[in-house]
A and B are shown apart, each in its own frame.
Chain A
Amino acid sequence: NAGVMQNPRHLVRRRGQEARLRCSPMKGHSHVYWYRQLPEEGLKFMVYLQKENIIDESGMPKERFSAEFPKEGPSILRIQQVVRGDSAAYFCASSPPRQLRSGELFFGEGSRLTVL
Chain B
Amino acid sequence: DAKTTQPPSMDCAEGRAANLPCNHSTISGNEYVYWYRQIHSQGPQYIIHGLKNNETNEMASLIITEDRKSSTLILPHATLRDTAVYYCIVISRDNYGQNFVFGPGTRLSVLP
Contacts and interface: CB of A to CB of B under 8 A. Distances in A.
Contact of B34 (A93, A101, A104): A104
A15 B49 CA distance: 42
Contacts of A109: 42-43
Contact of A98 (B42, B46, B85, B96): B96
B35 to A, nearest CB: 10
Interface stretch (B18-26, B71-79, B99-107): B99-107
Interface in A37-53: 42-45, 48
Interface residues on B, range: 20 to 34
Interface in A47-88: 48, 55-56, 58-59
A107 B99 contact: no
A35 B102 contact: yes
B43 A104 contact: no
A93 B102 CA distance: 13
B95 to A, nearest CB: 6
Contact of B104 (A42, A93, A102): A42
A35 B101 CA distance: 10
A25 interface: no
Contact of A104 (B49, B99, B103): B49
A110 B97 contact: no
Contacts of B41: 89, 110
B88 interface: no
Given A55-B97, A110-B41, 20 more contacts: A33-B99, A35-B102, A42-B105, A43-B102, A45-B102, A91-B44, A93-B43, A93-B44, A98-B94, A98-B96, A101-B95, A102-B49, A103-B32, A103-B91, A104-B46, A104-B49, A105-B44, A105-B46, A107-B43, A109-B42
Interface of B: 32, 34, 36, 38, 41-46, 49, 85, 87, 91, 93-105
Interface of A: 4, 33, 35, 42-45, 48, 55-56, 58-59, 89, 91, 93, 98, 101-110
12 contacts: A33-B99, A42-B102, A42-B104, A43-B44, A44-B102, A103-B34, A104-B34, A105-B44, A105-B46, A107-B43, A108-B43, A110-B43
